[in-house]
Structures are given as structure tokens and as C-alpha cells.
Structure 1
Amino acid sequence: MSPASIPGADEELTARLEAGLAGVAGRLEQVVDHDDPFIAEAAHHLARAGGKGFRPLLTLLASEVGTGWDEQVVDAAVAVELTHLASLYHDDVMDEADLRRGVESANARYGNSTAILVGDLLFGTASSVVAGLGPEAVKIQADTFIRLCAGQIRDDRQADAHLGSGDAVAAYLSILADKTGALIATAARYGAMFGGCDEAAVRTLTAYGEKIGVVFQLADDLLDVASEAEASGKTPGTDLREGKATLPVLYARGSSDPADARLLELTRGPIDDPDELAEALTLLRAHPAMDEARGHTARVAAQARALLDDLPPAPAVAALRALVDGVADRSR
């Protein structure tokens, strides 16, 4: 997602964001580099494959609600992106995926052990960068990392998600708030903090970040079902294959229609057979649960936008509001 694609960003704001993102890219290259050529190549693998750059963009954009970005904001954005990249190396191992960002996944390229260790190296690098931002930033990073890991553990276990009840939906949204929302909330919080925003604005932007983080993950979950590998750069149906119940599956499980019996059978647990996975994807793509999940995503997006009403009107605030739509619309 580029600054130019945000409808609320005027020409001046867009230019500042693009300059900030260039600074983030250069700093990221610098801190990830390593004396050992193999380690350097492996650590750069997913970063150089590209990506949405969503978290650094949010850090920069949140800083523009205040006095704008500087070297501290850039370092904060780098730290958040490093944390995200590190989690992707671990995700590739857990997901056993073949693709990530349209290239060979870390585990497929380097093997599980190396992918895990490179992820650990990047987590350590993120901590080193954050250490230069002061003790409060270090504490925020640590708390964020705890929430991220706890959410991932809960997602991996998916306790009680098989019930398909309203409680299961609430539990799932709580998982997303931790595993995805927490880091995106920190991206916005760092931008506001180091961009000179007052405490009230920092709180507002942190809450906004967590909400848009949930929207981001809900849209990703829908894309995992709806898109083809060529379009998304990921292996479709990863969650279904692992037996994870994302929001479309949870809504489908609430159906009492006998015609849904096969879909419910297929999504009861992991799907090892490629033909059955393809069948499950076909059935779920055509199911009303997809529209229900899209509707839920739109409601959370509206909550994120509403939080911005507490901030004075400004180009950066308009851009943050438009950013919500850009994130949510990826699922359509």
C-alpha cells in the first residue's frame, strides 16, 4: 500500500510519507545486514520480496497527526516492521506454506530450523533498534511481543472455536486483537509518541491501530479463501488446511441447512487431501458466510473510523480514515 493510493493524502502529505518510507527502507537494509553472506541473504529474503509496508506507513502517518516524522519515528517504524518480518519467518514454519509475498517461503527455501533462527535474529534486531528509543519504547515492545505470541498460541490451539457460537466469534476476534492488532496498535502508538502528539491523541491512535489491525487480519482471512495464489502471493486455503476456524468458517458452522453438511464435515478439522481442500474452498467461496464475514469486517472498520472523530480535522486524519477503507476493501 503506497501513500499515493490513500485518497485522503494530499500532495504535500504524500511526498512526506514517500520520503519517510524511503528512509525506513534504507535503515532496514542497514540494520538487517550481516557479515556472514548467508545470514544476510536469509535475513533480507522476505524484506526484499516486498510487501504492503502497512505498519511503517501507519507509523509515519500517525506521526503526521503531530509534528511529523524524524529519525526516531523512522527507527520506530523499522522496529515494528522487523518484528512483523520476524513473525513471518515463524509463520511460514507453522503454516508449512510454499509461498510468501509471491516468492518461495522461508521454510521452503532454508528449512524449518534456519527459518526459525532467522526469525529470532530479526526479533533481536528489532529489540536492538527499540533500545535506542528509550525505556518506555522498550517496555511497549516487550508487552506487544507478549500479546503477539499469546495471540498466536491461542490461534494455533483455537480452543472452543469448534462450537460455532457467538462466543466463538468473540473469542476469535480477541485472538486477532492480540496476534495482529497489538503490533499494528504499537505502530500507530510509536508514530504518535515520537511525532509529538499529546497523550489523548496517542491513546486514540493506539486504539485506532488495534481496530484497523483486526480489520487487516479479517480481510487477510477472507483473502485466504477468496483469492488465487497468483493474485495474493500466498498459498490459498492455508487456514482451512490447518483446521483453523476463521470468521467465514465460524459463520458457516452456525448454519442448520442440510445442504451445508459437506462443508461442515470438511471444515471440522485439518484437510490433508488437496482435492478435499479445493472442494472446501469452492463450497466456502459460494456460501453466504463469506458475505456475513465481509459485513462483520465492515462493521469493525466503521468502529476504527469513528475513533478518529476525537482528533481535529487534518490531512493526516483524513488519510487515516481512508486507510481503513483501503484495508477493508482488500477482501472484496
Structure 2
Amino acid sequence: MLEVVNTTTIVTELGLDPAVDRHAEFAAELRTGLARVEEKLQEVLRSPGHPELTEAATHLVRAGGKRLRPVMALAGAAFGDGRGDPISAAALVELIHVATLYHDDVMDEAPMRHGVTSANSLWGNRKAVLIGDYVLACAARVGAGLGDYALRSQAQTFGRLVRGQFLETTGPFEDCGRHAPYEHHIQVMADKSASLIALAGRLGAQVSGADERTIETLGRYGELIGVAFQISDDVLDISASTTDLGKSAGTDLREGIVTLPMLHALDDEGPGAGRLREIIGHGPVSDPMIRQEALGLLRESAGVVRALAEAHGYAAKARDLALSLPDRPARALLVGLSAFVVDRGE
């Protein structure tokens, strides 16, 4: 996983050439900015006089993570004129993301998140839902300080996040045609994952005074990168170990969620695909032994390869958009990020 607060990793993973002075300077600024975001997250989530709430609300923040959304916000801010408060913008999008993780873990009954025990396992589902709500309230407070654009964008994005979760839970309607499952899943990824990454780039640029074209381009870039990133995540849920993931492998199978690599695998012919249809067709795969069988069949199928090919397609479009932005070090980072999000799934 990407440790974004490490300058060396920023340079090697995200395409910033250390031999170029302005790249090295930007990498150092990014590291400083991310450290300030971490401080801001702890500050905003602190509930004076209520240590248990503070501990629970900061539990997943302290566990770490890729911090992809703050990176996007700070990269977006680098295309502005230096005004505004990009640290708060970066903290805002990460707070929304963290809140969704608390809620997701309740719905998924997940035992782990970011390599630590999930909040619902520690404090129970009811408290975990309330903790997620509290984090959302903290995000709203930060957004209120960033003006009307931030509040409107935050509300629109939260609506998409909820819609994506709802669509994922209900599944595609059976009478929508043969290709409906694919279209349905792309919509889920766009709403549930890409929308917040797009918000990060747009909001970072907007609060820092970037022009409208740049703000729009960063939003479109974030939508594409978000879908590529989620496809990569779906692949990792199949191919990676629980240790590498920091959460339980095969979560999608356990919850009965059919992802893009699964859809491609189910379209194959042969006994492996037939057995997968038999397993997945019955809904959530709760039996650990059957789940391991399904993971093995998925790893042997062409589904993973086809899904990764689609991820590369989305990432290539994102890269082209990044190259249309002004020539600044942040552009090189976005170009590098378009490769990183798909390479991690291979």
C-alpha cells in the first residue's frame, strides 16, 4: 500500500523525478501538507470531555490508510494561486471517507479495517453507526468553513455515496437486459468510490483559486481514477492475502456482492465458471471453505485479467486528462497516480 507521508515513496510510486528540483520541492510540500492534514483530522474529531467518543472517532484515522483523497485535494490545490485552505479541503474529504468506512463495516460485518479490529467489532454495530454519524457531522463543520461551493459539493457527493451503497445492496433489476449487471456495477463504482475522489480534486483546486477549466478537468480525472481504483480493489479482494489487504480477503463473496472480475468470470465457459455460477448464484458465501473454493476458481479464471484491462482503460483516459493540465509538478503526480492505481492490482 502507498504510504503517502513518505517522500521517497511519493517520488518512486507517483512519478515525481527526484532529479528535478521542482519535483523534489513539491514532494516535500506534499509531505508537509499531509502531516498537517493528519493533525487536522485529530483536532476536528476530538470531543472534549468525552474520551471514549474521541477514541472511537479517531480509531480508523489512527490506523492509517492510503490517504488517496487528501493527496488528490492537495494536488488539486497546487493548480491554484496559493490562497484558501486546502488542508481543510483535504481533511473534509478524508472525514467523509472515514465515516463511510464505519458504516460499510457495519453493513459488511467486517472484523478488520486497515489492519486493525473494526469499530463494530470493538464497540458493536449501534455505536459504530453513531460514530460514523459523528464523523460526518465533523465533516459538515469543516465544510461550513469552506463556503457555499464546498457545502453544495459535499451534499451532492454524499447523496451519490448513499445512492451507490443502495444500488450495491439492491443489485441490478433482472429485466434490464443482458448488459445491465455491467452497467449497474460501473454506476455503483462511480457513485460509491469515484465521486469522493473527484470531489477531492475539485475542492482542493476551487479553494485555492484555480480556474474553472482546471477544476472541471480534475473532477473528470477523479471520476476515471476512482473507477480504476475500485476495479483494482475488487481484484485485490480476490487475489491478495488478508495480511496484504489489511482486512479480510473475499469480503465481496461473503457479502454476496458481485464485482467486475466476478461478472467476467461468470461469463466464461467451462466447469469452473459453472461451479462459480452455482456458488455465487445462491447469494452471500458464508461458508469459509466454499469461499476459498470460489476464490481459487476466480483466480484461475480470465475474470481478473479482463477486469484489469478495463481498469487500465479508465486509467489511460485519466492520464490523458492529467496531461491536459498546466505543466506543474502536481501534473506529474497525477500522471504517476494513473499508473499506480492499476499496477497495485497486478
Superposed pair shares fold, TM > 0.5: yes
Give a deviation string over 1:82-127, Cα, whole Å, max 9, x none: 0000000001001111110000011111100000000000000000
Structure 2 match to 1:286? 300
Give the drift of 1:313.
2.3
Give the drift of 1:164.
9.5
Identity rate, percent: 43
Give the drift of 1:215.
1.2
Tell me which amino acid in the other structure corresponds to 1:113.
Answer: R
Structure 1 match to 2:80? 66
Task: Pick one of 263, 284, 300 that aligns with 2:276.
Answer: 263
Alignment map for 1:1-332 (pairs within 5 Å): 1=2, 2=4, 3-4=10-11, 5-8=13-16, 10-35=23-48, 36-68=50-82, 72-160=85-173, 165-268=178-281, 269-332=283-346
State how far apart, in whole Å, the 1-side matches of 2:136 and 2:273 are. Answer: 43
Give the drift of 1:238.
0.6
Give the drift of 1:175.
1.2
State how far apart, in whole Å, the 2-side matches of 1:28 and 1:163 are. Answer: 43
Report which stretch shifted further, 285-294 or 256-265.
256-265
State how far apart, in whole Å, the 1-side matches of 2:260 and 2:123 are. Answer: 32
The question of whether the paired residues in 1 share the 8 Å contact of 2:69 and 2:93 is answered with: yes
Size of the aligned set, in residue pairs, is 331
Instruction: Tell me the TM-score normalized by structure 1.
Output: 0.96
SS in structure 1 of the partner of residue 132 of structure 2: helix
Judged with a 3 Å threshold, the aligned counterparts in structure 2 of structure 1 residues 65 and 71 are, in CA distance, closer, same or farther, namely closer
Give a deviation string over 1:305-332, Cα, whole Å, max 9, x none: 1112322322211111111111111111
Tell me which amino acid in the other structure corresponds to 1:265.
Answer: E
The question of whether the paired residues in 1 share the 8 Å contact of 2:261 and 2:307 is answered with: yes
State how far apart, in whole Å, the 2-side matches of 1:322 and 1:170 are. Answer: 28
State how far apart, in whole Å, the 1-side matches of 2:226 and 2:160 are. Answer: 13
Judged with a 3 Å threshold, the aligned counterparts in structure 2 of structure 1 residues 46 and 302 are, in CA distance, closer, same or farther, namely same
SS in structure 2 of the partner of residue 331 of structure 1: coil
Superposed CA RMSD in Å reads 1.6
Unaligned runs of 5+ residues in structure 2 are 5-9, 18-22
Give the drift of 1:163.
8.7
Report which stretch shifted further, 45-54 or 164-173.
164-173
The question of whether the paired residues in 1 share the 8 Å contact of 2:323 and 2:335 is answered with: no
Give the drift of 1:272.
1.6
SS in structure 2 of the partner of residue 312 of structure 1: coil
Judged with a 3 Å threshold, the aligned counterparts in structure 2 of structure 1 residues 309 and 162 are, in CA distance, closer, same or farther, namely farther
The question of whether the paired residues in 1 share the 8 Å contact of 2:84 and 2:207 is answered with: no
The question of whether the paired residues in 1 share the 8 Å contact of 2:37 and 2:91 is answered with: yes
State how far apart, in whole Å, the 1-side matches of 2:239 and 2:175 are. Answer: 22
State how far apart, in whole Å, the 1-side matches of 2:62 and 2:129 are. Answer: 18
Instruction: Tell me the TM-score normalized by structure 2.
Output: 0.92
State how far apart, in whole Å, the 1-side matches of 2:304 and 2:319 are. Answer: 23
State how far apart, in whole Å, the 1-side matches of 2:180 and 2:109 are. Answer: 29
Give the drift of 1:162.
11
State how far apart, in whole Å, the 1-side matches of 2:273 and 2:206 are. Answer: 49
Give the drift of 1:67.
2.8
Tell me which amino acid in the other structure corresponds to 1:64.
Answer: A
Judged with a 3 Å threshold, the aligned counterparts in structure 2 of structure 1 residues 164 and 26 are, in CA distance, closer, same or farther, namely farther
